[in-house]
Structure 1
Amino acid sequence: MDVSVKIESLSFGGSGVGRISGKVVFVPYSAPGDNIKVRVTKDTKGFAEGDIVEFISASPLRKEPPCPLHSICGGCQWLHIPYKEQLKAKEEIFKDTLRRIGKIDPSIVLPAQPSPMDLNYRSRVQFKVLESKIGFYKRESHELVEIPECPLAHPLINRILKGLRDVWPPSPSSIARVDINVSPSEGNGIVSIYLSQRSDLDFNSFFRRLTTSIPEITGLIVHIAREEKISGSSYLFSQEREFRFRASEGSFSQVNYRQNLNMKDYILSMADLKGDETVLELYSGGGNFTIPIASRAGKVIGIEVGKSSISDARENARINNIRNATFIQATSEKG
Structure 2
Amino acid sequence: MLKEEVDVEVRGIGAGGSGIADLPDGRVVFVPRTTEGDRARIRVERIRPRWARGSLVEVLDPARSRVNPPCKKYTECGGCQLQHVSYEDQLTWKGRFITDALARIGGLRKVSTPEVVPSPSRLRYRNRVSFTLRRLSGGHVVAGFHALHRPAHIVDIDSECLLPHQKLSQTWSKLRAGWGKSAELLPSAGRIRMTLGLSGENGAEVDLVVEGGRSGWDGERLFKSVGAVRAIWHRPSENKSAGEERDRMILAGGGVLDAPTPTFAQVNDEAAELLRTHVIKCCTSALQSNEQVALPTFPIIDAYCGSGAYGSALASEGLSVVGIESDPSAVEQARASVRAKMAQHNKEFGRFEVQEGLVEDLLPTLLPAEVLVFNPPRSGLHEDVPAQILANAPRRILYVSCDPATLARDVKRLGDQYALDRLRAFDLFPQTAHVEAVAELTFRGVAQ
TM-score normalised per structure 2: 0.66
Answer yes or no: is the 8 Å Cα contact 2:125–2:268 preserved in 1: yes
Aligned equivalent of 1:220: 232
CA contact (8 A) 2:324 2:359 kept: yes
1:272-305 CA-to-partner distances (Å, cap 9, x unmatched) read 2559771111111111211111212531011112
CA contact (8 A) 1:278 1:297 kept: no
Q: Which has the larger radius of gyration?
A: 2
**Do the aligned partners of 2:307 and 2:333 also contact (CA within 8 Å) in 1?**
yes
Q: Do 2:38 and 2:59's aligned partners in 1 also have CA atoms closer than 8 Å?
A: yes
Structure 1 Cα separation of the partners of residues 260 and 166 of structure 2: 21
User: Counterpart of 1:126 in 2: which secondary structure?
Assistant: strand
The C-alpha deviation readout for 1:173-213, integer Å capped at 9, x for no partner, is 4261101111482322210001234565x3123223333xx
- CA contact 2:37–2:62 (8 Å) conserved in 1: yes
Letter in 2 for 1:332: V
Distance 2:167 2:8 in 1: 41
1:64–1:249 Cα change, 3 Å: farther
Matches of 2:180 and 2:234, distance apart in 1: 13
TM-score, structure 1 length as denominator? 0.87
**Aligned counterpart, 2:87:** 83
* Paired position in structure 2 for 1:316: 337
**1:143-292, aligned counterparts within 5 Å?**
143-149=153-159, 150-170=161-181, 171=184, 172=186, 173-174=188-189, 176-183=192-199, 185-197=202-214, 202-211=218-227, 214=228, 217-224=229-236, 225=238, 226=240, 227-232=246-251, 249-271=261-283, 272=285, 274=288, 278-292=299-313
SS at match of 2:100: helix
User: What one-letter code is carried by the residue in structure 2 that aligns with 1:308?
Assistant: S
- 2:7 aligned counterpart, secondary structure: strand
Which moves more between the two structures, 299-308 or 105-114? Answer: 105-114
Quick one: percent identity of the two aligned structures? 26
Gaps of 5+ in 2: 136-140, 241-245, 253-258, 343-348, 363-448
Structure 1: gaps (5+ residues)? 234-246
Following TM superposition, by how much is the alpha carbon of 1:109 offset from its aligned partner in structure 2, in angstroms?
Answer: 5.4
Cα separation, 2, equivalents of 1:310 and 1:62? 45
The residue correspondences of 1:133-152 to structure 2 (distance < 5 A) are: 133-139=142-148, 140-149=150-159, 150-152=161-163
Flag the 1:106–1:219 CA change in 2: closer, same or farther, 3 A.
farther
Find the counterpart in structure 1 of residue 119 from structure 2: 115
Label 1:319 to 1:209 Cα distance change in 2 as closer, same or farther (>3 A).
farther
> Compared with structure 1, are the counterparts of its residues 110 and 91 closer, same or farther at alpha carbon in structure 2 (3 Å cutoff)?
closer
- Mapped contact 2:127–2:164 kept (Cα < 8 A): yes
Q: Which residue of 1 aligns with 2:437?
A: none
Q: CA deviation at 1:323?
A: 5.8
- Measure, in 2, the Cα distance between the counterparts of 1:232 and 1:35: 55
* Residue-by-residue CA offset, 1:234-255 (whole Å, 9 max, x unaligned): xxxxxxxxxxxxx965310011
Structure 1 runs (4+) deviating above 3 angstroms are: 196-200, 273-277
Cα distance in structure 1, aligned partners of 2:75 and 2:94: 20
Aligned to 2:328: 307
> Which residue of structure 2 lines up, in the alignment, with residue 70 of structure 1?
74
C-alpha RMSD of the superposition: 2.3
SS in 1 for 2:224: helix
Q: Which has the higher contact order (CA 8 A, sep 6+)?
A: 2
Match of 1:242 in 2: none
Q: Does structure 1 conserve the Cα–Cα contact (< 8 Å) formed by 2:8 and 2:42? A: yes
Displacement of 1:19: 1.3
Note the alpha carbon deviations across 1:72-124, whole angstroms, 9 max, x for none.
11111111111111111111011111111112245255311111111100111
Q: Which amino acid aligns with 1:138?
A: A
